């Protein structure tokens, strides 16, 4: 549940329990909230099902911190907002508009919640009202930066011409209509192109149409894709020897405690869901639809439903016989652990959270015996006392995508908390700073995580590796990783790493030659044109949150597509733009 306000609910007497009293700071009127254990348990369950992807009681996240929220607005206002938040914003309600401007996306409607549901939910929120972050260290860090990166991203003067190719089948009735996510070319004779929907479908793109290749719910009945925000069918990757061994790999989500986890933590910390890595073997690698069997490689518990295992990939540049050939890279987010007070889960080198892993899926020397540990991993063999042997590098909040440049640089995008979005060059054993750093800034994971501070004078002592591209939240809210254009049809794009912002849909690029360790590559922005008219993805999708993604198709053709409406566009040209539109 994405609450642009900071509270929900209204007490009713439908449970017959004794309420507690609360005076709102806004009105001075006293309202009552249940303390009944059954009601609170129901409210906690509803919160975990609908709210934890965006909210907690310690920090701002995707949505506001909900600690103490039942003191801030009247129950009547809250009721109407929960039922139809977009309508409240459209009615120009001052509070709704202010919070919408801050978080830049709508909360969906929750008309399915009954009055007793919202009563239980608000009772639970009221019970959590006194949780606050420890801000004692904030003063030691100096003055919080109000504008971490003052320089604005400049218009490049280039217009990106897009042609609408097709629309993915809607997998829901509400936005996002199709959670199309990762595009992947399977090399062969001929090459094949695939695209997955996080709600559980892997498509093959044939011409301008999408054909179902695999349905996850049919293969794994325990599969879940709600409550969204990257849960579901997270990622997939074909083994480089797929045409001879028929192996490919997927990640997906299941409910908590579906099976024992290979990577778990103390029982006192909640588990919101599990991420599962699976190896599949096709009966016929050339088949048009999936038929085969799967075996589980690893299972990981997550504190919340966000920042999971959203990326798996093989190094496409590794040749047969080279050390990196056939090794699977796995991006594991911190699972919302840090903003919920469990920062040590991702700070510890001996844990998987906030790391990029590297395994040999055909090996057997892992702890569970289902995969192998590459001998060249930083903490393998004699170095196992220094960290988890599966770890390749760490210090990420959400290593959302991994790609390689033509000259061999590994690129890892990391979606930030509240201030900075970043792109990093992947280096074995490197620490990229989270949860002590966000981009090139200090963050206090024990205090207010919506603030950042300048680096200390002795920063070199910490040996953090910093991003080669970053932008702050004046420009966008979540980096959408891209690729270097390697096609031949549009020379003006050659060598450009093209990417953008998930939320506002702005499209950027940097020169891939400027992606150098220890330096910041300057970002420039494209103007987007569709159907001969300059536009933006917010206008094209008619949504403030576009859910913009990038992909490379057959013949190195470049694609952009949006979950908001499921539309898929191909880049057909790049020209000089003499009249760029204003930023949205």
Nearest to 528 by CA among 158, 180, 164, 167: 158
Over pLDDT 90: what percentage of the chain? 72
Asked if pLDDT for residue 14 goes beyond 50, the answer is: no
What was the pLDDT predicted at 21? 52
Distance, in Å, from the CA atom of 113 to the CA atom of 115, rounded to the nearest integer, reads 7
Confidence of residue 106 (pLDDT cuts 50, 70, 90): low
Asked if pLDDT for residue 82 goes beyond 80, the answer is: no
Nearest to 577 by CA among 502, 511, 504, 524: 524
Asked if pLDDT for residue 128 goes beyond 60, the answer is: yes
∠ Cα 56 57 60 (to 5°): 65
Mean pLDDT score of the chain, rounded to an integer?
88
The more confidently predicted of residues 470 and 96 is 470
Q: Does residue 389 contact residue 374 with C-beta atoms inside 8 Å?
A: no
Asked if pLDDT for residue 551 goes beyond 60, the answer is: yes
What was the pLDDT predicted at 55? 76
Q: DSSP assignment, residue 71?
A: G
Q: Does residue 564 contact residue 545 with C-beta atoms inside 8 Å?
A: yes
Tokens encoding 323? 């050390």
Work out whether the CA dihedral 232, 233, 235, 239 comes out positive or negative.
Answer: positive
Tokens encoding 304? 């919340």
Average pLDDT over residues 517-535: 96
Distance, in Å, from the CA atom of 212 to the CA atom of 219, rounded to the nearest integer, reads 14
Confidence of residue 123 (pLDDT cuts 50, 70, 90): confident
What was the pLDDT predicted at 11? 33
Phi, psi (deg, nearest 5) at residue 245: -105, -10
The more confidently predicted of residues 98 and 117 is 117
Residues, the chain: 584
Distance, in Å, from the CA atom of 244 to the CA atom of 75, rounded to the nearest integer, reads 62
What was the pLDDT predicted at 400? 96
Residues 417-446: pLDDT tens digits? 989 999 999 999 999 999 999 999 999 998
Confidence of residue 5 (pLDDT cuts 50, 70, 90): very low
Distance, in Å, from the CA atom of 80 to the CA atom of 58, rounded to the nearest integer, reads 26
The more confidently predicted of residues 449 and 227 is 449
What was the pLDDT predicted at 133? 58
Average pLDDT over residues 393-413: 98
Asked if pLDDT for residue 94 goes beyond 80, the answer is: no
Distance, in Å, from the CA atom of 485 to the CA atom of 493, rounded to the nearest integer, reads 6
Asked if pLDDT for residue 474 goes beyond 60, the answer is: yes
Q: Which residues make Cβ contacts (< 8 Å) with residue 342, sequence separation at least 6?
A: 265, 269, 303
What was the pLDDT predicted at 10? 33
What was the pLDDT predicted at 9? 33
Confidence of residue 42 (pLDDT cuts 50, 70, 90): confident
Average pLDDT over residues 135-156: 88
The more confidently predicted of residues 122 and 373 is 373
Confidence of residue 584 (pLDDT cuts 50, 70, 90): very low
Distance, in Å, from the CA atom of 366 to the CA atom of 380, rounded to the nearest integer, reads 10
Distance, in Å, from the CA atom of 208 to the CA atom of 193, rounded to the nearest integer, reads 11
Distance, in Å, from the CA atom of 202 to the CA atom of 209, rounded to the nearest integer, reads 13
Asked if pLDDT for residue 108 goes beyond 80, the answer is: no
The more confidently predicted of residues 485 and 76 is 485
For 283-316, what is the HEC assignment?
A: CCCCCCCCCEEEEEEEEEEECCCCCCCCEEEECC
Give the containing element (helix H, strand E) for 94.
helix 94-103
Average pLDDT over residues 195-204: 98
Q: Does residue 486 contact residue 556 with C-beta atoms inside 8 Å?
A: yes
Classify 335 as helix, strand or coil: coil
Residues 282-323: pLDDT tens digits? 999 999 999 999 999 999 999 999 999 999 999 999 999 999
Nearest to 6 by CA among 62, 51, 70: 70
Residues 245-274: pLDDT tens digits? 999 999 999 999 999 999 999 999 999 999
């Amino acid at each position: 549940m994405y609450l642009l306000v900071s509270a929900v609910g209204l007490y009713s007497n439908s449970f017959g329990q004794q309420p507690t009293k609360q005076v709102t700071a806004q009105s001075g009127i006293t309202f009552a909230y249940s303390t009944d254990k059954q009601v609170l348990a129901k409210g906690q369950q509803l919160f975990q099902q609908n709210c934890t992807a965006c909210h907690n009681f310690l920090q701002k996240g995707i949505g506001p911190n909900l600690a103490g929220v039942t003191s801030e607005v009247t129950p009547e206002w809250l009721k109407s907002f929960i039922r139809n938040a977009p309508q409240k914003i459209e009615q120009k309600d001052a509070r709704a508009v202010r919070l919408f401007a801050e978080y830049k996306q709508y909360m969906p409607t929750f008309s399915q919640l009954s009055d007793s549901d919202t009563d239980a939910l608000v009772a639970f929120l009221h019970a959590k009202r006194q949780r606050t972050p420890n801000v004692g260290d904030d003063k030691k860090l100096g003055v919080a930066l109000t504008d971490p990166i003052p320089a604005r991203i400049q218009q490049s003067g280039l217009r990106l011409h897009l042609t609408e190719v097709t629309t993915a089948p809607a997998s829901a009735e509400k936005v996002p209509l199709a959670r199309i996510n990762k595009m992947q070319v399977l090399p062969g004779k001929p090459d094949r192109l695939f695209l997955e929907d996080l709600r559980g479908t892997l498509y093959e793109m044939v011409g301008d149409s999408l054909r179902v290749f695999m349905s996850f719910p049919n293969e794994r009945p325990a599969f879940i894709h709600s409550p969204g925000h990257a849960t579901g069918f997270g990622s997939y990757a074909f083994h480089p020897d797929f045409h001879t061994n028929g192996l490919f790999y997927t990640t997906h989500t299941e409910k908590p405690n579906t099976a024992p986890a290979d990577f778990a933590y103390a029982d006192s910390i909640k588990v919101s869901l599990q991420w599962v890595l699976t190896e599949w073997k096709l009966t016929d690698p050339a088949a048009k639809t999936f038929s085969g069997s799967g075996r589980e490689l690893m299972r990981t518990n997550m504190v919340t439903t966000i920042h999971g295992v959203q990326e798996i990939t093989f190094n496409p540049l590794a040749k047969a016989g080279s050390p990196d050939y056939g090794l699977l890279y796995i991006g594991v987010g911190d699972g919302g652990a840090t903003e919920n007070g469990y920062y040590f889960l991702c700070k510890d080198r001996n844990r998987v959270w906030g790391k990029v892993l590297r395994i040999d899926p055909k090996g057997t020397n892992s702890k569970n015996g289902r995969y192998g540990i590459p001998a060249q991993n930083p903490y393998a063999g004699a170095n196992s006392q220094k960290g988890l042997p599966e770890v390749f590098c760490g210090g990420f909040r959400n290593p959302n995508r991994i790609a390689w440049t033509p000259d061999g640089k590994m690129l890892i995008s990391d979606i930030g908390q509240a201030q900075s979005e970043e792109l990093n060059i992947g280096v074995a054993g490197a620490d990229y700073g989270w949860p002590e750093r966000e981009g090139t800034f200090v963050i206090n994971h024990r205090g207010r995580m919506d603030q950042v501070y300048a680096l200390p004078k002795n920063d070199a002592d910490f040996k953090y590796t910093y991003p080669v591209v970053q932008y702050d939240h004046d420009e966008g809210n979540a980096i959408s990783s891209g690729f270097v254009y390697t096609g031949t049809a549009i020379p003006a794009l050659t060598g450009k790493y093209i990417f953008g912002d998930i939320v506002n849909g702005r499209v950027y690029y940097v020169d891939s030659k400027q992606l150098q360790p220890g330096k910041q590559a300057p970002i420039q922005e494209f103007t987007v044109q569709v159907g001969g008219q300059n536009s933006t993805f917010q206008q094209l999708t008619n949504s403030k949150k576009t859910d913009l993604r990038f992909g490379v198709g057959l013949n190195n053709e470049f694609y952009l597509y949006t979950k908001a409406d499921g539309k898929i566009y191909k880049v057909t040209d790049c020209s000089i733009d003499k009249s760029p539109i204003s930023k949205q």
